[in-house]
Amino acid sequence: MVNKKRLTEEFCRLTAIDSVTYREREMADHLKRVFSSMNIELKEDNTGRIYNGNAGNLYGYIEGKGMPVLLSAHMDTVEPGIGKRAVVHNDGRITSSGNTVLGADDAAGLAAITEAVRAVKENNIIHRPIEILLSAAEEVYAKGTRAFDFSSIRSKEAYVLDLSGDIGTAVTEAPSIIFFKVNIRGRAAHAGFSPDMGINSIAAASKAIAQIRQGGIDSLTALNIGTIKGGMATNIVPENCIVEGEIRSLDHNKAMELLNNVKAVFEKCCNEINAVFTFEHNVGIKAYKISKNSSTVINYENACAQLGIRANFISTFGGSDNNNLVERGIEGIVISCGMNNVHSCQEYTSVDDLVKSTEILINIITSVDEKRA
């Protein structure tokens, strides 16, 4: 049922739209027009205003038979993402012109959802009720869906098209990502004439950092201190120092325990020199693990098997909109949709991968279970 030419052309149109994070307006308007041509309304929320962006999340519902299913992809791209142009090569490989990302992350997902819906509608194929969620601001730790009102969602099964790798690959386990910021305040003094009158905030930060294990803590958890800023001049004992880092863990409780340990180390090192500190943290996304016996996993395996594709379920240390879906009680997995070398100017996809991912979606949304209808 997939119209390969139409799918490829739509993918190229999508990648040509400038849609960096918080600037998804043109992409949102295009997608509204595309679905409107199929008599499907995509409603837009106010997420753009919340984050000072220019577009919100888009949501649509298509009546069907059986249990509803949610399909999701995101509208934004990373930088460099202005002036993108897809180049379709003779062997079916699709790349950017080399100066920008291609934007297959996530135009591949958007194109697959669009073509799958078009195909079942124009062929009058019986399908499940379909919910569509196209998010803004996903690339900044899924902020768009973090602000989405999930009370309108009817589905308990979801497929998020936002994964690189071989078609058939799907993520069933992803981490919590927690950001922390330590603001240390000491006391300024002249570094030459009265150094002992000062309290060196950088010294306190350095001592704490030296005591905190970084990198892979274990197979489930990683910690990184990414930035340290402080001081005004070499002849001034630094009064202020700011340290920022993140913790990722497939076990949310372990992540929170590690966060508390980090805070305790900074507190101890500051107290030793009479510096004061504040400690802030933000849970960007929360860890999840979907059972291999879940209906979402089983339905995906079946959809792949119909095409002779072997489903491969993995865990990841990256987050996606699916973290927010699962946190709100929706059994979702993230599926590969034909994006490779993402977040780089070497990003690529292929016509074959776009077709396969679309065919998998068609199999999923047309798998009407009469017993559960």
Active site residues: 76, 138
**Helix/strand/coil for 125:** coil
Burial label for 254, CB within 10 Å (0-12, 13-18, 19+), is middle
The residues, ordered by sequence, that sit 6+ positions from 205 with a Cβ below 8 Å of its Cβ are 182, 184, 228, 230, 241, 243, 266, 269
Contact 295, 363 (CB under 8 A): no
Burial of 78 (0-12, 13-18, 19+ CB in 10 A): middle
Q: For residue 306, give Cα distances in angstroms to 33, 214, 303.
A: 32, 45, 5
Distance CA 125, CA 91 (A): 32
**Amino acid of residue 23:** R
182 CB-side CA count, 13 A: 32
